[in-house]
Amino acid sequence: EAQVTQNPRYLITVTGKKLTVTCSQNMNHEYMSWYRQDPGLGLRQIYYSMNVEVTDKGDVPEGYKVSRKEKRNFPLILESPSPNQTSLYFCASSQRGEGYGQPQHFGDGTRLSIL
């Protein structure tokens, strides 16, 4: 089954404690992306990756890091989480970029609470 898998689904942690949210897709997609969703603000893109070793900032990259060492994986790293990063996070992938006509497939989300 084609899917985007995020882990963990829920996490409560404390300020400053480094954490990683994993994202894996089994569709051999080139494009992957991370979004955060906050009430009243919709979905905002954090980082995206066009292919292995190619990443770029989205609209709200501050406080986040990503890496794309393998095509299927695109982890989101919070080196020193702060309470303002409490949010619902979604990973997405698509075949090439959406501008080429391919829709994004989204994971089920990771709810992070930073205390």
Partner 1 sequence: LAKTTQPISMDSYEGQEVNITCSHNNIATNDYITWYQQFPSQGPRFIIQGYKTKVTNEVASLFIPADRKSSTLSLPRVSLSDTAVYYCLVGDLRDNYGQNFVFGPGTRLSVLP
45 binds partner 1 (CB under 8 A): yes
**Which one, of 101, 99, 82, 55, lies nearest residue 47 by Cα?**
55
**Which one, of 56, 66, 55, lies nearest residue 89 by Cα?**
66
- Shortest Å, Cβ 57 to partner 1: 8
Structure tokens of 99?
A: 């501008």
39 binds partner 1 (CB under 8 A): no
53 binds partner 1 (CB under 8 A): no
Q: Which residues bind partner 1 (CB under 8 A)?
A: 4, 31, 33, 35, 40-45, 48, 50, 54, 56, 58-59, 90, 92, 97-99, 101, 103-109
